[in-house]
Structure 1
């Protein structure tokens, strides 16, 4: 099998996912976009052609029967950089499913139609879903070329061409039950949003029952907020996904929560779910996560309202990718690392269960208690449900149903620390809260607590507990 050559990546300092994305772009790809860790502003993009203007996110969602991964009860737990073609086997895909993963995004040289068909066929057998990102036709209509009916635009294809490419790709994969949709662009620059919006519109038109997907790079500040808002309002994605990897060799990324706060608020504004990538690989200036650090990233994300967790990476990227990639859930030769066991435990005994509880709920509150809030984060203040806190630092995520008039709430109490246990008390407003119940992931049931005036909990490093507050 011929493995496509890696396309030149140009400037140093690309995002980690952009580095790996280069493996599937190919020689005719458009020039890559330099990554800015501290994005200070975004260019205003020209609006899409009238022929492919997208409707509002609500209207798009209403027009779909049910989108894989986004809709349904199951909480999506995904991975990027799956096994390479020589390891695309029942055994290897079975290991991913046994570890609690529900879907994968193609990559790691699984990038021609033959091996993609093999990947989907095996995913069918083990019960995984697949977002196809590396199909040549998908790459062409979503990333390599600009969709424009103005033939003077360089490196462009017409809307009809894009429909043909999308239809051809769909016809190759729709027969597989594992096929979930197309990944249409990783970490796109703002000047790509108009063409990406057309790619999303084409995908929704041609494949309305499948999920179009794109993931954003990280950032913070008002410039980044403008960038995220421009993406949401131009592209109208069914979810808002981003990546940020906070476990640095020198400590914790000080802007991690500022990034999450923007993603959370923009997802709520657009009424779309938010997804994230968690760090599950070591690379330049980023350490190999411990089991507690893996759990911590997941619970911090859940407290901020996350509706889909994705791992970066599953398989260790090869040295040709650069960036000093080390161990992930596997080593380069496929040996399972301790992080595989940690991921299997958290995915199968906590995340899949608590995720089902939180997925249909609306994030109402994400605050830091018993600490000075990190940059961009919000500190705790008493309200109608919570009257006070004491003890160790925690992040409190509170949720409600989609019925804003309903008074029942859910409260996730997440240990802010991944290196120490937390003993914390949350005092409840007695005039509002009449009963407190603790969620047990083993039985997927809530157990009423004897005291409805407060929550007193001790949490392991990185751990969390979910409570239902009847009012």
Structure 2
């Protein structure tokens, strides 16, 4: 799925007293990925702000895909696609005509270079699946090159809302009755200074069902505050994104990019683009997060989950404790609430991803590794793991990544 360029390993002492893998010119070897990890802005640029400047501003964060429900008609959708093409952003088509006349609307847009897919609706229940399956079939009969897209409920939605026997039943029935090219769900785990107890169980179920279906799945991180969800800091973003990726997510989505206006149910505020149309500090935080996602795409894009386990005195509901050490690991200990320990395969390479489950405090990680193991730094650099101490501090919500 990807190419890995490993340059000759030379033990050179750098100005900071560290050693790393370098080529003859002194450049550090970096992990490379084929393709680009999709990063979606959900509730993106409003229709009345469709300008090259606004789309370029969005692209500068590292976002690759854009979605907005706010296009009043197909002509407004066309204008947004044309502007997105100018700056190199992909859009998910959403306009009233897509429901009224799917075939004609799809034929109008299917050859546009900026089209990524077609939006159906958000958070359906099982009662909606028959209609959605018919709609998706009509779209795919006309254009099966671009995906149909919607998000499923999180597992904290009541069963009477899902209209299913269980959350797993809900996901399974959706895949059977609405056969889309990819699966997506939303879940916003950070509440106050803690996270929802159902969070990792949701990832367990969704990752497992996507794997059984043979389909990629996309997951979310919350970027716009509203009660009871706080204004996110970088640690909260990392906690969500690296947990998603550790479970095999193949696309990251942000809710939201543009702060929604007044809503009778939610007091949305302080999104990446604020209510006044100006950037907030969250804009810069998602830019930092996206730089990390891009640099580490060689680990996660196209990866296969071998196993995901957890450490800690207590582990999240629905998860499995780490009882057998991963290959190449002689010992592994964590202090504090614990960690996600994910084993991934990507092409000929194996990766060990350890995510700090605490987004408030650093985690002490003590790990003994076999000779030849590599560590992957935040910028994608590949360095011998042996140049680091067996004891390292993992920043709040952050991930430590090793390769073998």
TM-score greater than 0.5 by the shorter chain: yes
2:217 pairs with 1:274: yes
> How far does residue 388 in structure 1 lie from its aligned partner after superposition?
3.7
2:361 pairs with 1:416: no
The runs of at least 4 aligned residues of structure 1 exceeding 3 Å deviation read 454-457
Which residue matches 1:88?
Answer: 50
2:68 pairs with 1:106: yes
Which residue matches 1:211?
Answer: 147
- Decide whether aligned partners of structure 1 residues 301 and 371 sit closer, same or farther in structure 2, where only a CA change above 3 A counts: farther
Is the CA contact 2:376–2:401 (under 8 Å) kept in the aligned structure 1? Answer: yes
329, 340, 359: which is aligned to 1:395?
A: 340
Is the CA contact 1:260–1:304 (under 8 Å) kept in the aligned structure 2? Answer: yes
1:211-258 CA distances to partner (integer Å, 9 max, x unpaired)? 111210111697001111111122222222100111213632121111
> How far does residue 421 in structure 1 lie from its aligned partner after superposition?
1.4
Which residue matches 1:295?
Answer: 238
1:78-123 CA distances to partner (integer Å, 9 max, x unpaired)? 011112122211111111100000001122x223222211111111
Unaligned runs of 5+ in 2: 1-32, 160-164
Which residue matches 1:379?
Answer: 321
- Decide whether aligned partners of structure 1 residues 321 and 273 sit closer, same or farther in structure 2, where only a CA change above 3 A counts: farther
Is the CA contact 2:326–2:343 (under 8 Å) kept in the aligned structure 1? Answer: no
Is the CA contact 1:422–1:461 (under 8 Å) kept in the aligned structure 2? Answer: yes
Distance (whole Å) between structure 1 residues aligned to residue 229 and residue 378 of structure 2: 31
Is the CA contact 1:73–1:356 (under 8 Å) kept in the aligned structure 2? Answer: no
How is 1:9-408 mapped onto 2 (pairs within 5 angstroms)? 73-107=35-69, 109-133=70-94, 135-140=95-100, 165-219=101-155, 223-249=166-192, 251-320=194-263, 322-348=265-291, 350-383=292-325, 385=327, 386=329, 388-392=331-335, 393-401=338-346, 408=349
Is the CA contact 2:225–2:231 (under 8 Å) kept in the aligned structure 1? Answer: yes
- Decide whether aligned partners of structure 1 residues 463 and 251 sit closer, same or farther in structure 2, where only a CA change above 3 A counts: closer
- Could you tell me the TM-score, scaled by structure 2's length? 0.84
Distance (whole Å) between structure 1 residues aligned to residue 265 and residue 78 of structure 2: 28
Is the CA contact 2:103–2:138 (under 8 Å) kept in the aligned structure 1? Answer: no
Distance (whole Å) between structure 1 residues aligned to residue 390 and residue 58 of structure 2: 36
Distance (whole Å) between structure 2 residues aligned to residue 102 and residue 417 of structure 1: 29
Distance (whole Å) between structure 1 residues aligned to residue 343 and residue 286 of structure 2: 25
- Could you tell me the TM-score, scaled by structure 1's length? 0.72
Question: What count of residue pairs does the alignment treat as equivalent?
Answer: 362
Which residue matches 1:468?
Answer: 403
Which residue matches 1:459?
Answer: 394
> How far does residue 166 in structure 1 lie from its aligned partner after superposition?
2.1
Q: Note the aligned Cα RMSD (angstroms).
A: 2.3
Is the CA contact 2:154–2:185 (under 8 Å) kept in the aligned structure 1? Answer: yes
Give the secondary-structure state (helix, strand or coil) at the position aligned to 1:254: coil
> How far does residue 355 in structure 1 lie from its aligned partner after superposition?
2.6
Distance (whole Å) between structure 2 residues aligned to residue 391 and residue 121 of structure 1: 50
1:163-191 CA distances to partner (integer Å, 9 max, x unpaired)? xx222112332342111110122111102
Give the secondary-structure state (helix, strand or coil) at the position aligned to 2:342: strand
Unaligned runs of 5+ in 1: 1-70, 141-164
1:318-350 CA distances to partner (integer Å, 9 max, x unpaired)? 1045311112111112111111000001102x1
1:424-457 CA distances to partner (integer Å, 9 max, x unpaired)? 02345x5xxx521122343x442232279x9643
Is the CA contact 1:436–1:451 (under 8 Å) kept in the aligned structure 2? Answer: no
Give the secondary-structure state (helix, strand or coil) at the position aligned to 2:232: coil
Greater relative contact order structure (CA < 8 Å, 6+ sep):
2
